[in-house]
Amino acid sequence: MREIAVRVALGAGRARIVRQLLTESALLGLLGGVAGLLLAIWSVGILRPYLPPEVTQINSVHIGVPVLAFALALSLAAALVFGLAPALLATQSNLQAEIRGGGERGGQTGGQRVRSFLAITEVSLAMVLLVAGGLLIRSFALVTSVHAGFDPNQVIEAEISLPQFQYSTPQQRWW
CA distance 145 to 60: 21
Helix/strand/coil (H, E, C) string of 81-147? HHHHHHHHHHCCCCHHHHHHCCCCCCCCCHHHHHHHHHHHHHHHHHHHHHHHHHHHHHHHHHHHHCC
The full set of domain ranges for the chain reads: 2-104
pLDDT reading at 56 higher than 70: no
At 154 the three-state DSSP class reads coil
Cα distances (Å, whole numbers) of residue 168 to 25, 158, 163, 171 = 59, 22, 8, 9
The pTM assigned to this predicted structure is 0.55
pLDDT in tens, 159-171: 877 777 777 777 7
Average pLDDT over residues 94-113: 60
pLDDT in tens, 105-160: 544 566 678 778 888 999 999 999 999 999 999 998 888 788 878 777 888 888 87
Angle at 4 between CA 81 and CA 23, to 5 degrees: 35
CB 51 within 8 A of CB 144: yes
Q: What is the helix (H) or strand (E) element at residue 16, kind and residue range?
A: helix 14-47
The C-alpha R_g of the chain, in whole angstroms, comes to: 28
Percent of the chain predicted with pLDDT > 70: 81
